[in-house]
Amino acid sequence: YQRRVREFHDPVLMGDQTGSTVSCNDCGVAFSFTTRKHSCKVCSRAFCSDCSNEKTSVKGKGERSCFNCFAKSATFTENENALAQSVSQQLQEDVVFRGYVRLKKSKSKERSKRLVVVGKYWLVFINLSSLRGKQVSVNHLYDLMEVSVNSADKASFKLKGQKGGPNQTKLREIQTPLLSDLISAVVSSYRSINVGFPKERQATFGFPHDGSWPQTDDIGSKGQMHEEEIFEQVYRAQCSYLGVPFSTELILYAADLISEGIYEFDLSLCPGLELNGELTFDLRPVFFTLSHHTFFRSIKICDISKREPIDSLLKALSFNSTISKLLLTNLKGADMLVNIGDTFTKNSNNQIQVMEFSGTDMSGKTFTNFCNALQGLRHGLIGLYLRKCGLGPSDISKLAKAFTAKPEVSVTLEELDLSNNRLEDEGSTALQTWLTKVRSESKLRRLILNSCSFLVAQVLSPLNSFNCLEEIGIADNRIDVNATQIIRSLLETSKSIRIMDFTDIKGMSVPIAETITSAIAFNKVANLLRVDFSNWNIPFFVFKNFVSCLDKSKLEAINLTGNKMLPSDLMLLLEAFIGTGLLNLKVIILDDCLKKANASVSLSVAQLLIQLVNVTPSLKALSICQGFKKAIPTFLEGISSNQTLEELRLKSNNIGDKGASSVAQFLRRNATLKYLDLDGNQFTVSGWRTIRSAMKKNKSLIQMAFPQSEAKASNDQRTYQMIVDVCSQVQTNKQNMNAEGYLPHLVEIDQVAILQPNYIPNMTPLAHVSESSLSGSSSYDQSISSSADYSSQSTSYDDGRPQFSAPPTSSLPTLSTMPRAAGRLPNTSTSRPPSMAPGPPPPALTPSRLPPSSPRGTSTGSQQALTVRSPPSSFPPPGPPQAATMRTAPPPPPGGPPRSAPPPPPGPPPPSGLPPPGPPPPPGLPPPPPELPPPPADSGERSQLLSSITAFSKVKLKKCETNDRSAPLVSTVKPPASSHSSEDHPVMARRDTHTVGQALKNALINRRQNIESTYE
pLDDT tens sequence across 275-302: 777 888 888 999 999 888 888 999 999 9
Residue of 351, 343, 335, 355 whose CA lies nearest to 313: 343
Helix axes of 393-405 and 424-437: crossing angle, nearest 10 degrees: 10
Helix axes of 656-669 and 685-695: crossing angle, nearest 10 degrees: 0
Can you tell me the distance from the alpha carbon of 112 to that of 657, in angstroms, rounded to the nearest whole number? 86
Can you tell me the distance from the alpha carbon of 696 to that of 658, in angstroms, rounded to the nearest whole number? 19
Q: What is the pLDDT of residue 773?
A: 57
Residue 684 contacts residue 692 (beta carbons within 8 Å): no
Residue 673 contacts residue 703 (beta carbons within 8 Å): no
Q: What is the pLDDT of residue 784?
A: 38
Which residues are CB-contacts of 900 (< 8 A; sequence separation ≥ 6)? Answer: none
Number of H helices, E strands in the chain: 30, 32
E strands present in 222-297: 264-266
Can you tell me the distance from the alpha carbon of 234 to that of 267, in angstroms, rounded to the nearest whole number? 18
Helix axes of 540-548 and 567-580: crossing angle, nearest 10 degrees: 10
Q: Which residues of the chain have pLDDT under 50?
A: 4-18, 131, 163-164, 776-939, 941-996, 1015
Q: What is the pLDDT of residues 688-709, one digit of tens each?
A: 999 999 999 999 999 999 998 8
Q: What is the pLDDT of residue 811?
A: 34
Can you tell me the distance from the alpha carbon of 431 to that of 459, in angstroms, rounded to the nearest whole number? 7
- Burial per residue of 530-547, b for 16 or more beta-carbon CB atoms within 10 angstroms, e otherwise: bbbbbbbebbbbbbbbbb
Can you tell me the distance from the alpha carbon of 703 to that of 305, in angstroms, rounded to the nearest whole number? 33
How many angstroms separate the Cα of 734 from the Cα of each of 433, 668, 739? 50, 17, 5
Specify the pTM: 0.69
Can you tell me the distance from the alpha carbon of 699 to that of 991, in angstroms, rounded to the nearest whole number? 57
Residue 145 contacts residue 160 (beta carbons within 8 Å): yes
Can you tell me the distance from the alpha carbon of 357 to that of 391, in angstroms, rounded to the nearest whole number? 12
Residue of 567, 553, 616 whose CA lies nearest to 588: 616
Residue of 120, 121, 293 whose CA lies nearest to 196: 293
Residue of 415, 405, 471 whose CA lies nearest to 438: 405
Can you tell me the distance from the alpha carbon of 129 to that of 127, in angstroms, rounded to the nearest whole number? 6
